[in-house]
Structure 1
Amino acid sequence: MFAARQTFNLFQKRAFSASASQASKVAVLGAGGGIGQPLSLLLKLNPRVSDLALYDIRGGPGVAADLSHINTNSTVTGYNPDAAGLNDCLKDAEIVLIPAGVPRKPGMTRDDLFNTNASIVRDLAKAAAKSAPNANILVISNPVNSTVPIVSEVYKAAGVYNPKRLFGVTTLDVVRASRFISQVQGTNPADEKVTVIGGHSGVTIVPLLSQSNHASIAGEARDALVNRIQFGGDEVVKAKDGAGSATLSMAMAGARFAESLLRAAQGEKGVVEPTFVESPLFKGQGIDFFASKVELGPNGAEKIHDIGPVNEYEQKLIDACLVDLKKNIQKGVDFVKANPGN
């Protein structure tokens, strides 16, 4: 409860300039799941959200009823698990978050989730393309390296694709990096700014420690830290022993990214977050999507930052990242071609 109140207070401080005229509808698709429920709770606590719309194949209205008792001003509505309910949930949404899908279990990689989650994301993207074509789409469902390209292909087929409005949420990698480095160095994680680029699984996650406050970390300590940042999700899956994956930390990361988009949309300048977007950085190598720092604004992704200087060690990490990332992206594109759905 104390942590939730701290989060609420943080949102209140950041939202001091938001006015009632800046109403923002936010939709969560998969609101009854392990990520969806805490994510929806955090969004209910955010004063920038005026209308919280919740959808799931089961449990959406129940989660909405529960959250609606929380004493913040936003309206919470749960929608029926059918096409009409999904359409109403999406209509007029400014932000659509997609955490829907099955969680990882011990021994599974994010790619093992692909066949199930790919179909779920494809179908939800079709609904969003029809009912909320101008919304910012925040993809949380794993594997993000493949599900974001799935959404892009669906939107292209519908003739409504805007690369500035499609985001893969990789914020958790940065959150983990700041926490893990603070544990090693004995510092306050809030003061640690670690740039993380690439993708959102295993070796595609590339922390640029040389750009942090602790560029001197080297050798085995550096290797262990990088490995933990890259495979932190496995740590949670193992600890939960078959009961799920990183849900609470992912919900916090998703809420943070949504908050940043709302801040930028409501006029705040200089809002920069890491995210997996269509990017020019490595298109010359056939890689259309890449996570890096992105400046956000009223139109979504306003500016994609270069990765900046890297050392030899980090360049090797980037090289390894690009090999896997290219395959992951193509997997998503190929899925839609082979399985266009109804």
Structure 2
Amino acid sequence: MVKACVAGASGGIGQPLSLLLKSSSLIDELSLYDVVNTPGVAADLSHISTPATVTGYLPKDDGMKQAFTGVDIFVIPAGIPRKPGMTRDDLFKINAGIVRDLVKGVAEYAPKAFILVISNPVNSTVPIAAEVLKAAGVFDPKKLFGVTTLDVVRAETFVASIVGEKNPAKTTIPVIGGHSGETIVPLFSQANPSVSIPADKLDALVNRVQFGGDEVVKAKDGAGSATLSMAYAGFRFAEKVIKAVKGEKGIVEPSFVYLPGVSGGEHIAKITGVDFFSVPIELGASGAEQAIDVVSGANEYEKKLLEAAYTGLKGNVAKGIEFAQNPPPK
């Protein structure tokens, strides 16, 4: 039996994400939590002819306790979306508090669950989640993930359009670092099967992977951000975690994790100078079983990108930890 919970289920990412999870044969129970509309979303999804039972909760009447108790895997897209001219950093103050409060609930009602954080800025919200879990005495680095899969999905898609591959998912491209702007570093040199990117297209391709979210915000005329592609990416990663927990071997996907707490991660943390970093992670029954060092294999072009990523990440991570340890007055 697998019970999944979407925290932030009524939002632009939460609704399509909940639909995808309801469609999965791997999930037996789907619990939805948000501050508005959740019973309606749950009722709508419950009419779909797949096995998962769906329940929806609001904060009133101990809703968080009911929604979170017994959950095996949380996916957290809760927060406000990015608006035109807004950086992921601008979202920080609002979304940081939302993630902190939700993770406090996870620590209390489902301390052994896997936690997949989508809420931006991921570079800061994942360290906040780690600090909350540490304070509650239930932090397991193998079970806390920042979902960076959208960067991977974009890299696969954009490369396919250049090299003429009809199925983008056939190409594995490590995308490492963080989950905003220049902290996102696609390692095209390590694509499998290998790809040949024309030199005159490389800069633009890297920029498109790094700032793909801006492309969507602009195309939606400021009326939304990357919700559907993010929902797909969140579902893809959640499904891989569940498959690995159920015993499937050889599942690898990049994710933003606390490196010193994952096998192989200490070495990568020393190279990068950052404790929270996204690298390909081999998933298993306990969660993040092995961090795979692709950093050492970066070419000279990619090393320059990584230097910028390290600088940005250090600031983002420190900001998250500072928020968790010394929260601003309400």
TM-score (norm 1): 0.91
CA deviation map 1:43-93 (0-9, x unaligned): 000010000000000011110000000001110000132371111111111
Query: Which residue does the alignment assign to 2:188?
Result: 209
Indicate yes or no: 2:231 matched with 1:251: yes
Select which of 241, 260, 265 maps to 2:221.
241
d(CA) in 2 for partners of 1:202, 1:83: 40
Query: Which residue does the alignment assign to 2:321?
Result: 333
CA deviation map 1:195-239 (0-9, x unaligned): 100000000000001112455324330111111001001100111
CA deviation map 1:98-124 (0-9, x unaligned): 100000011111001001000000100
Q: Is the Cα–Cα contact under 8 Å of residues 163 and 196 in structure 2 kept in the other structure? A: no
Select which of 79, 89, 93 maps to 1:115.
93
Indicate yes or no: 2:302 matched with 1:302: no
Query: Which residue does the alignment assign to 2:39?
Result: 61
Select which of 194, 204, 207 maps to 2:173.
194
Query: Which residue does the alignment assign to 2:262?
Result: none
SS class of match (1:290): strand
d(CA) in 1 for partners of 2:178, 2:213: 14
The letter of the residue matching 2:309 is C
Query: Which residue does the alignment assign to 1:170?
Result: 148
Query: Which residue does the alignment assign to 2:307?
Result: 319
How do 1:1-342 residues align onto structure 2 when only pairs under 5 Å count? Answer: 23-82=1-60, 84-188=62-166, 189-212=168-191, 213-279=193-259, 280=266, 281-283=268-270, 286-307=273-294, 308-339=296-327
d(CA) in 1 for partners of 2:217, 2:133: 32
d(CA) in 2 for partners of 1:125, 1:174: 26
Residue 244 to residue 106, structure 1, CA distance change in 2 (3 Å): same
Residue 217 to residue 288, structure 1, CA distance change in 2 (3 Å): same
Displacement of 1:241 after TM fit? 1.4
Moved over 4 A (4+): 283-286
SS class of match (2:297): coil
d(CA) in 2 for partners of 1:205, 1:245: 18
The letter of the residue matching 1:317 is L
Identify unmatched segments of 5+ residues in structure 1: 1-22
Displacement of 1:264 after TM fit? 0.5
Identify unmatched segments of 5+ residues in structure 2: 260-265
